[in-house]
A and B are shown apart, each in its own frame.
Chain A
Amino acid sequence: MTPSSQSAAGIHEASDPHGAKKKFLADAAEHVRDTDHRAFVRKALGGYYTSRDTQKARYRDWEQARDAASLAKWSAVNRLDVLLPQFVAAFEANGGTVHWARDADEARGIVLELLKAAKAKAVIKSKCMTSEEIHLNAAMERDGYGVVESDLGEFIQQLRGEPPYHFVFPCMHVRRDEISDLFGRHLGSPPTDSPEELTMIARRHMRRLYVDADVGITGGNFLVAETGQISITENEGNARLTAALPRVHIALVGIEKVVANLDDLSVLLPMLATAGAGQPLTCYNTLYSGPRQPGEPDGPEEMHVVLLDNSRTALLADPEQRDALHCIRCGACLNVCPIFKNVGGFTYGTTYQGPIGSVITPHLRGLADWNHLSGASSLCGACTDACPVRIDIHHHLLHNRRNAARTTPSRLERLGHRLFVAVARRPWLFAAGGAMFRHTLWLAKRLRLPLLRAWLATRDLPPAPAQSFRAQWKAKA
């Protein structure tokens, strides 16, 4: 019983240039009609806003903390060439092994080789978005390995055959009674409405699996260059068991996760918890230094870190959007995003949903196929205000739009803008065009011309006034 978490429902590769956009539009249209679901998600986030604000208020100065966190990430992202080798040297000195993966293919290959070498039968995983990014579960299952997600939310999504709905709260869209039914079907548990009981059901099921697993796979929230340690943030203790009980521990981590030292980590850990979950700190924050040392009673025999590039260096090469690599995957931008709240996590069709996903997905998977995510924004900027590391998220959506207009412009759209500009540069033509627009608006409405049709389907439009401001001003003088 190991359903894949990368079912066809979730990760859809674009089959034609506009495939991803068409699917996005269709899924968004369907999702907004589900008013119950939208209300459920809004309500689920209500508790988060309250606790986030409570925790933010405990900072002497949250804005200054954002500056410090942003600086810590900025100085690390701009010194990867120094910090990554430093991390590698320190981690290897502790007995760990480092693997470099240029892309998803290489990363999957490395992990599968490690599983083979370990003669693994069963694999247990803790929450790891990089593994979603490279579709690791599907690859492991194809090679015959049993894989179980140990994070409760990810486990629920695995049983449902769905990818995460939200990269921090993977099953935030699932109601409690649905989880009870799901566990009843898959684990034979009796129905219950109690969150504690549901957690215990998963826990009882999971305990044996930790012991049976030969290999534990985790992600990593931060790599500490100074000490060669991997920092993992969690609330359930499952990542600790995943890392400590199996013979082999593999951590799959993006190269941008490195920070200089423990001081910087001490700024980032509480901010991750506050921005991401409204907690002062998460329940468990653990630093993993390497495999079991001589004389130690427990810990894995081998510890491997796979450092994943997968287009991160391409993003690094873009000075304008480089700060997107500051992202600590807290999910705060999703939680405040009106687009996310109204279209839901699956509509994006990406590993990383929400505003930050809309910024980075074009860099990870191609601008031509994924620019529509940057277009699907009112540019309200709530994301940028929420970001604990001050990524200029909503302006990067504008930058993506500009880059797309340069590299793959729509001829019709460009013509439209050129016509508009030609009119806007000539006040007499602008006044005449405006008058024509006002006097024929009633007709355009009746004819339901393309853009008007989209407006009028759900919104009224007032009649145009007889006279423009400029005409009235002239008459007044």
Chain B
Amino acid sequence: MNVSLFIPCFVDQMVPRVGLAVARVLERLGHPCEFRAAQTCCGQPSFNAGYWDEARAVAIRAVEVFEGADAVVGPSGSCVAMMRVFYPQLLEGTPHETAALDLASRTFEFSEFLVEKLGVTDVGACFPHRVTYHDGCHGLRELRIKEAPRRLLQAVRDLQLVECDEPEACCGFGGLFSVKYPMISTAMAEVKAGSLARTECDYIVSSDPTCQLQLDGWLSRYGRHIRTIHLAEVLAGTEP
């Protein structure tokens, strides 16, 4: 299956290694990847801030950019939820509604694409570490992804997966919320990072680079040694 990579703007500019890891895993499994350079951002920041008219313009572009792709795969539950769940709402009643629904049916978050669409759980990776998994809220509650990343991790050689006491608690990022209400956002990070750190694992695995930004930001500031890593990097066998 030809895969069109959906590289969220944050991944493009701040953590390109995550996008490269996604491509490496998929290509190793025999699925060639393309990157349509006309893509930019999914528009979620404006959408979440309430500026739907502005977000709509970005959404229409994205729908056009990914026209005709077999599968659109992105390494972020949040940005994939924007495309799959919120584009059809945002473009409801516009001439782009059908195209948005069509794109939604072809768009997948990385871990669910592997497990649900390709039927793969063992990608042949090795990662000799004790890890815990942080559920990003959009992946968990908008896309209902809970088992796929865990099944992938359980199949990684030499990897030990442990659960924290609050796996489904939010990290507190929430996009612009993190800087508009920084005190609440930070308190949430403290609670979640605390729960994750109590597992005494080597890495916190996540499927959302912006959750990683939040958790690492807090862990680094408060002198904790544990760090996050994206699921794709674990599966690519490329430690940072």
Identify the A interface with B (CB < 8 A).
Answer: 25, 28-29, 32, 38, 42, 338-339, 341-343, 375-382, 384-385, 398, 400-406, 409, 413-414, 417-418, 420-421, 423-427, 430, 434, 437-438, 451-452, 454-455, 457-462, 464-465, 467-470, 472-474
Contacts of A427 in B (CB 8 A): 37-40
Contact assessment for B54 and A417 in the assembled complex, using a CB-CB cutoff below 8 Å: yes
A-B contact sample (8 more), CB < 8 A, given A28-B183, A465-B15: A378-B177, A378-B178, A382-B137, A420-B54, A424-B9, A458-B221, A459-B189, A472-B16
Residue of A nearest to B16 (CB): A469
Residue of B nearest to A26 (CB): B183
Nearest-Cβ distance from residue B139 to partner chain A, whole angstroms: 11
Contact assessment for B12 and A434 in the assembled complex, using a CB-CB cutoff below 8 Å: yes
Contact assessment for A378 and B137 in the assembled complex, using a CB-CB cutoff below 8 Å: yes
Nearest-Cβ distance from residue B179 to partner chain A, whole angstroms: 4
Q: Is B111 an interface residue (CB 8 A)?
A: no
Bound state CA distance, A403 and B49, in angstroms? 10
Bound state CA distance, A451 and B180, in angstroms? 8
Given contacts A381-B137, A417-B46, contact A376 B12 (CB under 8 A): no
Contacts of A434 in B (CB 8 A): 9, 12-13
Residue of B nearest to A441 (CB): B14
Nearest-Cβ distance from residue A275 to partner chain B, whole angstroms: 17
Residue of B nearest to A438 (CB): B13
Contact assessment for B182 and A455 in the assembled complex, using a CB-CB cutoff below 8 Å: yes
Contact assessment for B49 and A380 in the assembled complex, using a CB-CB cutoff below 8 Å: no
Nearest-Cβ distance from residue B35 to partner chain A, whole angstroms: 5
Contacts of B41 in A (CB 8 A): 420, 424, 430
Contacts of B14 in A (CB 8 A): 438, 462, 464-465
Contact assessment for A402 and B52 in the assembled complex, using a CB-CB cutoff below 8 Å: yes
Bound state CA distance, A398 and B220, in angstroms? 31
Contact assessment for B185 and A378 in the assembled complex, using a CB-CB cutoff below 8 Å: yes
Contact assessment for A455 and B16 in the assembled complex, using a CB-CB cutoff below 8 Å: no
Contacts of A404 in B (CB 8 A): 50
Residue of B nearest to A451 (CB): B179
Given contacts A401-B49, A405-B52, contact A28 B184 (CB under 8 A): yes
Contact assessment for A457 and B182 in the assembled complex, using a CB-CB cutoff below 8 Å: yes
Contact assessment for A424 and B43 in the assembled complex, using a CB-CB cutoff below 8 Å: yes
Contact assessment for B46 and A420 in the assembled complex, using a CB-CB cutoff below 8 Å: yes
Contacts of A376 in B (CB 8 A): 177, 181, 184
Residue of B nearest to A371 (CB): B50
Q: Is B106 an interface residue (CB 8 A)?
A: no
Name B159-182 residues within 8 Å CB distance of A. Answer: 168-170, 172-174, 176-182
Identify the B interface with A (CB < 8 A).
Answer: 7, 9, 11-17, 19-20, 23, 35, 37-41, 43, 45-52, 54-55, 57-58, 61, 137, 140-142, 168-170, 172-174, 176-189, 191, 213-214, 216-218, 220-221
Bound state CA distance, A406 and B55, in angstroms? 13
Q: Looking at the complex, which one of A342, A414, A424, A470 makes contact with B61 (CB distance below 8 Å)?
A: A424
Residue of A nearest to B85 (CB): A395
Q: Looking at the complex, which one of B40, B182, B186, B221 makes contact with A425 (CB distance below 8 Å)?
A: B40
Contact assessment for A425 and B7 in the assembled complex, using a CB-CB cutoff below 8 Å: no
Q: Can you list 21 contacts pairing A with B, beta carbon distance less than 8 Å?
A: A32-B186, A38-B191, A376-B181, A378-B177, A382-B141, A382-B170, A398-B47, A401-B49, A405-B49, A409-B51, A420-B46, A421-B57, A424-B9, A424-B61, A425-B61, A438-B14, A458-B182, A459-B220, A462-B14, A465-B15, A473-B19
Contact assessment for B186 and A469 in the assembled complex, using a CB-CB cutoff below 8 Å: no
Contacts of A461 in B (CB 8 A): 213, 217
Contacts of A401 in B (CB 8 A): 48-50
Bound state CA distance, A375 and B17, in angstroms? 32
Bound state CA distance, A382 and B137, in angstroms? 8
Contacts of A423 in B (CB 8 A): 40
Contacts of A28 in B (CB 8 A): 181, 183-184
Shortest 10 CB-CB contacts between residues of A and residues of B: A378-B174, A459-B217, A401-B50, A405-B50, A380-B170, A469-B16, A381-B141, A380-B137, A342-B187, A460-B220
Bound state CA distance, A406 and B19, in angstroms? 36
Contact assessment for A342 and B137 in the assembled complex, using a CB-CB cutoff below 8 Å: no
Bound state CA distance, A457 and B218, in angstroms? 10
